[in-house]
Amino acid sequence: MDEQILNRLTQDILGRIFIELEASARHVHITREQAQTLFGHDLTPERPLSQPGQFLAKERVTLQGPNGKFYNVAVLGPARKEAQVEISLSDGRVLGITPPIRQSGDIQNTPGAILVGEAGTVAIREGVIAAQRHLHLTPDSAARFGVQDKQIVRLQTYTARPLIFEDVIVRISSAFADRAHLDFDEANACGMQKGDLGRILP
């Protein structure tokens, strides 16, 4: 068998048992109108992300809170119906914002922030969250792991500082690739390196 086939086989077998861990750095999602205000044009894809159709934009923003700011913050596309800012609790301390732990999209009564782009500024009234750790699974993988959409599972990490995350929420969609998404606090707490794996505990 050639190298490519062997690699594919290894991936397929590992994918039956493990889920790749991925750390999400602080980032923002914005609306098309906000992209116009911030940059004077729509978002431009720089590179695709692991989730099909999602991309890292070439455009960057400064993210401001009452106590501090971060420059050069990633903007993810495509544009959404509502802005959402995903930060870690550590980031929150720097900004002076206490983000609630929420699922993506669940932004009612969350804090706001200020976004500054090269062409303008947008103050969002709500949308700052720390994303609840979650699994993206395809329906096939979910069936194999025996889990349902929105089920809460435990995730064991095979990392330098191993731990078992509780309260990990499962999201299932045929538009997904199998990935466990952590924020940087969580990635550091388990000593995660790129490519590290995790396993759903029964």
Q: Which of 94, 153, 89, 83 is nearest to 117 (CA)?
A: 83
Nearer to a copy of itself, 68 or 78 (CB): 68
Smallest separation, CB 133 to a copy of itself (Å):
8
> Which CB atom, from 23 or from 79, has the smaller least distance to a copy of itself?
23
For tokens 């991936």, name the residue: 11
Rounded CA-CA distance 36/34 in Å is 5
120 or 162: CB nearest a copy of itself: 162
Which of residues 94 and 177 has its CB atom nearest to a copy of itself in the complex? 94
Question: Which of 162, 166, 155, 165 lies closest to 191, judged by CA?
Answer: 162
Q: Which residues contact 194 (CB under 8 A, 6 or more apart)?
A: none
CA trace torsion 52, 159, 141, 185 (10° rounding): -50
Q: What minimum distance in Å lies between the beta carbon of 103 and a copy of itself?
A: 13
- Which are the contacts of 129, defined by CB distance < 8 A and separation ≥ 6? 84, 85, 86, 87, 99, 100, 101, 102, 104, 106, 107, 110
Is the Cβ of residue 77 or residue 92 nearer to a copy of itself in the bound state? 92
For residue 145, the minimal CB distance to a copy of itself (Å) is 19
C-beta of 162: minimal distance to a copy of itself in Å? 4
CB of 64 to a copy of itself, least distance (A): 19
Q: List residues near a copy of itself by CB under 8 A.
A: 88-90, 101, 132-133, 154, 160-167, 184-186, 188-191
150 touches 170 (CB < 8 A): yes
